[in-house]
Amino acid sequence: MMDVKKEEKQETWKNIQVLGQGAFGYITLWMNQASNEKIAIKTCRHKEEMPDKTWERWKMEVFIMSRLNHDNVIRSVAVPPQLQPGKDSPPILAMEFCQGGDLRKVLNKPENCCGLKEFEIRQLVAGVGSGIEYLHSNRIIHRDLKPENIVLKPIDGNKTLYKIIDLGYAKELDINSICNSYVGTMQYLAPELLVGKAYSKTVDYWSLGSLVFECITGFRPFLPTLPPVEWHNVVCKKSPDDICAQYDERREIRFSKKLPSSNQLCRPLQGFFEQWLRLMLRWDPKARGGGIIQMEGVERPKCFCLLEKIIAVKIFHILHVEENTVLSFTVTDTHTIEDVNQAILHETVIPLDQQYVILADGLRLEAQALAVQSCSDSNTEDLMVFLFRSGPLQLQQKYNKKKLPLAVQAIVKEPNTLLPAKEHRKAWAQAVHWCTEISREYKRLVSAFRAALLHLLRNNSLILKQKTQMISDIGKLMACKELFQTSLDFDLQQGREVIKTSERIYQQWTEMARTINSFNDLKERVENLDNKVQTFSGEITDLQRSPVGKINQNMELEEFETKAKALYGELLGATQGTSGEGSRDMMDHHRMVDLIGKCYMKRDELTRNLYKQLSKVLDVQQRLEPLIPELNMSEGEIEAASKQLKSMQCHRQKDVWRLLKNSETHRAPGQNVEQETFSLATLNNSQNSSLFDRFKFNSLSSNLESIKLIDECQTNAQRLQEMVDTMVKEQAESLEYISTQDSITR
């Protein structure tokens, strides 16, 4: 008994918030006080309090929800025992709670007044399209698809699940049958519903197309402010491929087959979505959606097959840093960076040999690398790839400056003029959006600057390592050269008479002496190259210390964005409930215009300084790159000199042994080489010792001195190696610091 009571206590649910009110009753949020689990409870008024049709709709929704199971359709859950309705009470519906709110709230944010970001659009159409196709496959038409009936459930990172809710108007039927009941919300209704004609599942296509168009552009496609009858009479005149209608400057209606330019889709995706919207927004319900096609042996509506291809397409985004514009190209699994370079050439006319493509971490992309490996994640807006032009950066007012929207230009020109509430809110929303875009574009440039600096640091680190090896190798070479030269000079001096007995050996050894003297020139070139590398390291250190591109500068533009949003919030409070002419108490435009002006000036100042510093980075990079072949050449010369020195030593040893062999004719009978070597010192002090014996002894002494010289050179080389290793370590720490700062900013 005690265990049962304890279990009941753990399952206590508490009503913590009213989420909204629908046609049937209230939707409330409940939380399990033991586990903190949250669910949404949708209740219905008693049958006596509502019409029979509404009661039937409620029962249908509960029935439909009980048997659906799809990630993009709201999931029903078991009603907790504590909340079970009484015997005579209407059923209740328990559903998973989606804390992201509904899509309408997202679209109403001022930063989304010109449409959602590209990665959000792709997530949205993937989820909602899949959900609608699932409902249709289960013989269910939603009939009331709109932003208010799409809720968001954030999951891993930036990914969001979009879920279809409110199946109160959904109807279960044979998927090929038609209906003629009038349901749904006016703004998203298919044309046939407005005039009471029979309809089928294609009404959801029109609603889905209208919803996606609004998410892309920020407004509905066909003159949403017109009354229904007038709207129907105007829009019915559109061609099958028209996807929107707007008023032009002369207040004349213009139909278009293209998306308006005020959206955040890249050009390739704009083309794909225009093709898809032409299928979804057909006036003829039979032609809408493109009909049924067979794909991989399965019959599916053409519109969903096309949507699946759009979602799967891979887009290669690259920031053209010189102009601060994003270039976008569709790529397949077989396309390489070389193919992308060709597309860049066509788009920008930058020659292939001048294109410099690097990743955010500073790595340069090789021509044969697969392009898909560097595509941005479809669930994020972060850019991974940056395009620079090799050579001096010419930026005199060349970089892209985002223009003010027309509505914002109007309030800047006449800040004292009050607008109707709706136009007033629109102008301010576009001002917030402009500030948001300015901040985002500057962040992109900062990322490009850091990528260029990281690339420079990587190259410098490689050059330092190569230079370290070069210094070590030249030190070893010069030590061997000194040993060889000391021995050779001593032999030439002490054994001149013996060596001159062989003219060929004397000439060869003399030529060797001249050859190894040329090694001094190589050493001088290496020292000059070492000085160049040290100079560049100092310049790079200064670039790292520059305050340009730091995190606090990002915050300066973000502050303007935050302040603009706060002003917009005040405006919403002042104009709430006002849809017509604005009242005289409504806020004028002065504070918003002042904010825009300051943001504009700060943007120009920061961008100008950033490009100036970026030019220095690219200039150092351009001057640093030629050092790589110089280092390679020096390494090759050192290696060749070492081989040459080794070869000369071998020839010299052969000559010595040849002289020894020739001297055997002058050796006493029975005296062997070991005895001769053992008695070198004695022979050297003897008045009767031969000149050749003295030459052999002195050569041995010179070799001992040379060995001692080698030890000293090796010690100095080791000390030099330790100094360079310390420098390389400091360079690596700087590289790691820059990478850390880049990840913090993201």
**Phi, psi (deg, nearest 5) at residue 650:** -65, -45
Residue 339 annotated in active site: no
- Residues 115, 107: Cα–Cα separation, whole Å: 7
Can you tell me the distance from the alpha carbon of 355 to that of 339, in angstroms, rounded to the nearest whole number?
13
CA angle, residues 287, 291, 294, in degrees to nearest 5: 165
Cα 356 from chain centroid (whole Å): 17
Q: How far apart are CA 447 and CA 434, in angstroms?
A: 20
End-to-end Cα distance, the chain: 55
Question: CA 487, CA 498: separation in Å to the nearest integer?
Answer: 16
Other beta carbons within 10 Å of 363: 14
Exposed/middle/buried for residue 31 (C-beta within 10 Å: 0-12, 13-18, 19+): middle
Residue (of 502, 464, 454, 547) closest to 661 by Cα position: 502
> What is the spatial distance between Cα 431 and Cα 615, in angstroms, rounded to a whole number?
31
Residue pair 395/322 in contact by the 8 Å Cβ criterion:
yes
What is the per-residue burial (b if ≥16 Cβ within 10 Å, else e) of 87-121? eeebbebbbebbebebbeebbeebbbbbbbbbbbb
**């004609």: which residue's tokens?**
197
d(CA 477, CA 473) in angstroms, rounded, equals 6
C-beta neighbour count of 469 within 10 angstroms = 15
Separation of alpha carbons 109 and 568, rounded Å: 10
Of 387, 329, 390, which is closest to residue 358 (Cα–Cα)?
A: 387
Residue tagged active-site, from 3, 88, 102, 144: 144
Find the angle CA(225)-CA(231)-CA(237) to the nearest 5 degrees. Answer: 135
Q: What count of other Cβ atoms lies within 10 Å of the Cβ of residue 350?
A: 18
Angle at 161 between CA 157 and CA 164, to 5 degrees: 165
- Residues forming the active site: 144
